[in-house]
Amino acid sequence: MMKHVVFALAGLSLFTSCSRVDEEKAVKKSAEPGAQKQPGETKKMAEKKAESETDESLKSAKSEPKGDDRYLGMELKAAMELAKSEGRSARVIQEDGEHRIVTRDYRPERLNFVVVKGKVTEVTRG
């Protein structure tokens, strides 16, 4: 019987601490700039504003490739120069459908390019 009481109290304690964490997150989120609606702003207006801000951030994220994707579509010479300027080694592993002979050692800092008609179409590491 005593074990059941202890477990029940422990569960209640855990439940209340979780709900406090949720409340703290809600308070922090509402304190973020742009999260509060302006005076005279309706709920629909606030939702539209949030949607447009999200759309704009998605557009900018899509327009600027990140990571190794920025090499895609580049001329091979420009891609090799960019990799060299960043201190990375790079190699062509396939050109116009023909595989090149390459070593099988894995080097995560090395870029592997697949090239079609002089442009980089795929980038991997290794």
33-37: average pLDDT:
52
Asked if residues 115 and 76 have their Cβ atoms less than 8 Å apart, the reply is yes
pLDDT above 60 for 27: no
* Residue 2 confidence class, pLDDT cut points 50, 70, 90: low
Cα distances (Å, whole numbers) of residue 43 to 26, 32, 36, 37, 38: 18, 17, 10, 8, 10
The C-alpha atoms of residue 10 and residue 4 are separated, in whole angstroms, by 10
| pLDDT band at 29; cut points 50, 70, 90 | low
For residue 109, how far is the Cα from the chain centroid?
19
Higher pLDDT residue, 115 or 53?
115
Q: Which residues contact 102 (CB under 8 A, 6 or more apart)?
A: 91, 93, 112
pLDDT score at 5: 47
Calpha distance 73→117 (Å, rounded): 10
Query: Over the stretch 73-94, which tens digit does the pLDDT of each residue have?
Result: 999 999 999 999 999 999 999 9
